[in-house]
Structure 1
Amino acid sequence: MEKLLHWSIANSQGDQQTRERVGQPDPKLLEQLFGTGPDEPTLMKESIVVITNPEADLENKLTAFDNFEMLIENMDNANNIENLKLWNPLLQLLESPETELRTCALSCMGTASQNNVKTQDDFLKYDGGLQKIIKLASDVNEPAEVRTKALYALSNLIRNHPASSEVFCKLHGLEIIPPIIHDAKANNKLKMRAISLLSAFLTSTSINETLMDLLRKEGIVESTIDCLIVSSDVYIADRVLNILAQMVTAKVQFTDGEKQKLQAGMQNIEPEKDRLNEDDLQTVKYVL
């Protein structure tokens, strides 16, 4: 920056000797300062070119992915993924042999679709897109970071989006939740993402006895209550309480077996009650 200042002063004063001594400023710095560089859609395309270039090394690909995700945090840029025809290369990256690239692709899908109906609509046009993500989320052979980002992407793709949630349900997406919750080897972050996925699904459907029958069939209700019994994570317990409170508020009927498990779960989290949402806690206690 100091070099640029000296060059600017010398240039304005016509001081050729000083200009030669200081030298030309960095073109990239001039682009940043005066906005003469590529626009953001171009930068997005350039990032994907690097990411999909078989000659680029992994470090450069990951840097390009960081830049791409930073750009699509802007909703207009996220919506441009469709306009620039970048969904297909992103979906193809879900099959990359590099764990980091699969993780980054999933993260970008989740970031782009967060609270963004147009991007959710756009993604749904791609046959097999949700199915690929569901497969990664459910695959116990995938690293935890891949599965966690897959759950993150799924949650944002279906939240408050009935059409995506319907496809997700038809693809048996709900089936991936109970095994994660019951997996003793799964870390709390992965389990939290699974619970968040259930929460996202509930935003797009009416909670009634028909839904409860479906959730029971998939083992969702039992595994959700089990979280209160087996989990020592207060954040997971708090999220589960919120889901259960929604069910209670919707006036669904819990079975005797569910109530017994719920009673055990409530006793287990009693020592942490001051750290839990009081309204949800009292609402769930109402059914006992």
Structure 2
Amino acid sequence: MEALLKWAIINGATASEDAPKRDAATEESIKQKKLDPAIIDAILGKPASVQMTECLDAIENKDTPLKAREIALDDLEMLVENIDNASNLQPLGLWPRIIRLFEDPEPSVREGALWVSGTAVQHNPSAQKAFNGLGNVLAVLRNKEEAPGVRAKALYCVSSFVRANVTGLTQFVADNGLAIVVEAVDNGGATLKQKAFFLLRALIDEAMDDETPEELRPGKHLIDAIVELGAVDATASAAAQLAAAGEAAAFEQALGFLNSLADATEGGNRAVKQNPSLRLALAQASSAFGDWAQDDIFRITAHS
């Protein structure tokens, strides 16, 4: 830093100022400092594109200690929170490298790569358009043997990709994504169930949003598909499990999903309110969670 400041003072002198006389060695030293990128990096920091590439270099290097790989993933995730950085993943050729990490032997690396991807595509049409790893993410989500944290981050990535993204939602439906999310309700842990209910509710709300042009939303067709895929039966089973385990946060999301489904269409209403397994599960859960859940449970179990 001291050498750089000296360089700045010398080079800032005008012809009318008494600048120190430079000998040949000084001139050569100044020229080197002008051209030394390390000096510039020290002052301005490396460009984000360089930082993202270096993060991936470290992550992909199997000689890098696992903790350092995890830190590099955290750093990369923070970088792609910036919408411009996330959009630059494609021109930098980094998306294929990130997607390959979904199959890394280390669960924490798989989880981190999915986290990075979900953050990059969230509310970012440019990154959503460039991302071509949905099939890979759904494969992770569907794998019941996968670590719970990895599956949860996969669902986060799916949610970030499909919400407010009609092209992504279309691909999601074509790739059997709805069925995979319903499977997660059925066979996932409490955290995965909670995220699945949240996504299903969000999709219902978007599908029925009158402010969105009709051609850009699936409407009742999405509701019909959710019902046909057995989501209500899966939720009945999940509600009983969550009540027994005292998982209030996940149970609350289940109630939110059920009420959204019942409010959306007549078919959704019938599916929710005429399901005997669901009525039984909610009746049993009513005493487990106290007064806060009573109104939502009543709305679901009351006859149309």
Residue 63 in structure 1 maps to residue 63 in structure 2: no
- Counterpart-to-counterpart distance in 2, 1:274 and 1:283: 14
- How far does the alpha carbon of each residue in 1:73-97 deviate from its partner, in whole angstroms, 9 at most, with x for none? 2222222212322111111111222
SS in 2 for 1:83: coil
Q: Aligned residue for 2:254? A: 240
Q: Aligned residue for 2:300? A: 284
- Counterpart-to-counterpart distance in 2, 1:237 and 1:266: 10
Pairwise CA distance, 1:276:
4.0
- Counterpart-to-counterpart distance in 1, 2:177 and 2:90: 24
Residues 281 and 121 (structure 1), Cα distance of their counterparts in 2 relative to 1, 3 Å cut? farther
Letter in 1 for 2:227: R
- Contact between 1:228 and 1:268, CA under 8 Å: does it hold in 2? no
1:84 aligns with one of 88, 92, 100: 92
Q: Aligned residue for 2:197? A: 195
- Contact between 2:137 and 2:158, CA under 8 Å: does it hold in 1? yes
TM-score by length of 1: 0.77
Residues 256 and 111 (structure 1), Cα distance of their counterparts in 2 relative to 1, 3 Å cut? closer
SS in 2 for 1:81: coil
Pairwise CA distance, 1:195:
2.2
Q: Segments of 4+ in structure 1 off by > 6 A?
A: none
- Contact between 2:194 and 2:250, CA under 8 Å: does it hold in 1? yes
Larger of the two Rg values belongs to structure: 2
Residues 256 and 45 (structure 1), Cα distance of their counterparts in 2 relative to 1, 3 Å cut? closer
Q: Which deviates more from structure 2 when the two are superposed, residues 257-266 or residues 189-198?
A: 257-266
- Counterpart-to-counterpart distance in 1, 2:291 and 2:175: 39
- How far does the alpha carbon of each residue in 1:98-147 deviate from its partner, in whole angstroms, 9 at most, with x for none? 22221111111111122223222221xx2xx1111111111122222221
Pairwise CA distance, 1:282:
5.6
Q: Aligned residue for 1:97? A: 105
Q: Aligned residue for 1:136? A: 140
SS in 2 for 1:226: helix
Q: Which deviates more from structure 2 when the two are superposed, residues 249-258 or residues 134-143?
A: 249-258
Residues 258 and 115 (structure 1), Cα distance of their counterparts in 2 relative to 1, 3 Å cut? farther
Residues 263 and 65 (structure 1), Cα distance of their counterparts in 2 relative to 1, 3 Å cut? same
Q: Aligned residue for 2:211? A: none
TM-score by length of 2: 0.73
1:274 aligns with one of 261, 279, 291: 291
When the two structures are aligned, how many residues end up with a matched partner? Answer: 261
- Counterpart-to-counterpart distance in 1, 2:39 and 2:142: 46
Q: Aligned residue for 1:217? A: 228
- Counterpart-to-counterpart distance in 1, 2:273 and 2:292: 27
Residue 164 in structure 1 maps to residue 158 in structure 2: no
Letter in 1 for 2:276: Q
- Counterpart-to-counterpart distance in 1, 2:170 and 2:153: 21
Consecutive unaligned residues of structure 2, counting only runs of 5 or more, are: 10-37, 209-217
